[in-house]
Amino acid sequence: MIGRRVRRAFTLVELLVVIAIIAILVALLLPAINAAREAARRNQCINKLRQLSIAVNNYESAVQRYPLATDSTQSLLVTVPGSTGTPQFNAGEQRYYRDFAGYSWLVKILPQMEEKALYDEISAQSQKFVVAGFDPSAMMDRSGSVHLSTRSLAFLRCPSFSGQNYATAPEYQQFGEVGAGNYVCFPSSHVTSDNTLADDGIIVAMASGTEQIRRKGLKSGDVSDGISKTIMLTESREEEYSSWYDGTCPWVVALRPEAGDPVLLGDGYYGPPESSGTDVIALNYGPKNDRFRAYRYMRRGRPWPGSDHRVWGPSSEHGGSVVIHAFADARTVPISEGVDEKVYYRLVTRNGNEQAELPNQ
């Protein structure tokens, strides 16, 4: 007879040891896997901002001017649709729509983003941007069933952003799910002490301050600091007022409200006041610190009641506390929260005539 070898099964202890080893290996590998995924998402975000910068430059080449942050005849520091306290518009208030909800710079560069069909549709339905963007009747798509502001453009969302793909502010609910985006411009470095924008960025608004001054976009020659040394675009994790379509939404400033007006520093150039002793840049400053209220919506020079809803400025969900920024020459870099506040402020302004460089860039 041929003897049979008896195979001994795993004991419970051995099985538990194997499971524990596998769990340890998974725990060790997961951070590396997540880091690799985030690196890939961050690279996608960098590429998206670079392509947006190229689109802005192509627009400037075609029109000989940069796009306006909004074509509204009011300052960016105004209320958004519906903030009068009711979610519905009066059907006869065409001027109100036009003044307080102009078309954004992103709408104007749609042809340079290979979205000419959408641009043509918006232009046709608005009679070449004469009809206000949130006119509930005139700005429906050709089917007459969907408002054009609800178009969702995945290209305008950061891959690392975990929020909704539509603007969650209650004012927009009457139109449906208004499409959201994460990419914004810098029309100004800060909000001044008299609640106006300094208008020292590249993509500025049509109206300056609280005055009814209409202007065209700036020319590349207006950027005296140089397009390679001036930040033009960044990203934001704002979720409520995040419409890519509404001109009052896709923009941010570099300094927090409590920074105060820039002052002349010892090197002979302007920068944030050094006496505060605290970090005053707005990078990733939001609900984790306090409610970010850089944009106090104004009307007739007075704060609009209940207009402190926007809580994020330049911000992201990327690892390492970095936010992606694009210079006007399409150079795109991550900037960390620890950046020198003086350097950051000066890189956002287009005409400070100072020397400012990011370290190790």
361 found inside a domain: no
Spatial separation of the C-alpha atoms in residues 100 and 70, rounded to whole Å:
10
Q: What mean pLDDT is predicted for residues 164-174?
A: 83
Q: What mean pLDDT is predicted for residues 309-314?
A: 78
C-alpha closest to that of 350 among 148, 201, 162, 237: 201
What pLDDT does 83 receive?
Answer: 43
Burial group, residue 127, by CB count within 10 angstroms (0-12, 13-18, 19+): exposed
Is-above-0.75 flag for pTM? yes
C-alpha closest to that of 189 among 177, 203, 173, 175: 203
Asked if 178 and 167 touch (Cβ cutoff 8 Å), the reply is yes
Spatial separation of the C-alpha atoms in residues 225 and 47, rounded to whole Å:
24
Q: What mean pLDDT is predicted for residues 71-86?
A: 61
286 found inside a domain: yes
Q: What mean pLDDT is predicted for residues 281-287?
A: 80
pLDDT band at 90 (very low <50, low <70, confident <90, very high): very low
Beta strands in the chain (DSSP E): 183-185, 231-235, 263-264, 270-271, 298-299, 302-303, 322-327, 332-336
358 found inside a domain: no
What pLDDT does 50 receive?
Answer: 96
Q: What mean pLDDT is predicted for residues 251-255?
A: 90
Spatial separation of the C-alpha atoms in residues 58 and 51, rounded to whole Å:
10
What pLDDT does 186 receive?
Answer: 94
C-alpha closest to that of 325 among 199, 202, 192: 202
| Residue 102: domain span | 12-348
Q: What mean pLDDT is predicted for residues 279-298?
A: 65
Q: What mean pLDDT is predicted for residues 184-202?
A: 87
Spatial separation of the C-alpha atoms in residues 212 and 205, rounded to whole Å:
11
Amino acid at 119: Y
With a pLDDT cut of 90, the percent of the chain lying above it is 34
Q: pLDDT averaged over the chain? A: 80
SS3 content of the chain, % helix, strand, coil (to 5): 30, 10, 55
Spatial separation of the C-alpha atoms in residues 167 and 207, rounded to whole Å:
25
Q: What one-character-per-residue DSSP string does 187-198 give? A: S-S-B-TTS-B-
Tell me how many domains the chain contains.
Answer: 1
355 found inside a domain: no
Centroid of chain to Cα 79: 18
140 found inside a domain: yes
Residue 134 or 328, more confident: 328
161 found inside a domain: yes
Q: What mean pLDDT is predicted for residues 229-247?
A: 92
Interval 9-23: pLDDT, tens: 667 777 888 888 888
pLDDT band at 5 (very low <50, low <70, confident <90, very high): low
pLDDT for 300 beyond 50: no
251 found inside a domain: yes
Helix, strand, or coil (residue 18): helix
Asked if 158 and 317 touch (Cβ cutoff 8 Å), the reply is yes
Spatial separation of the C-alpha atoms in residues 134 and 48, rounded to whole Å:
27
182 found inside a domain: yes
Burial group, residue 70, by CB count within 10 angstroms (0-12, 13-18, 19+): buried
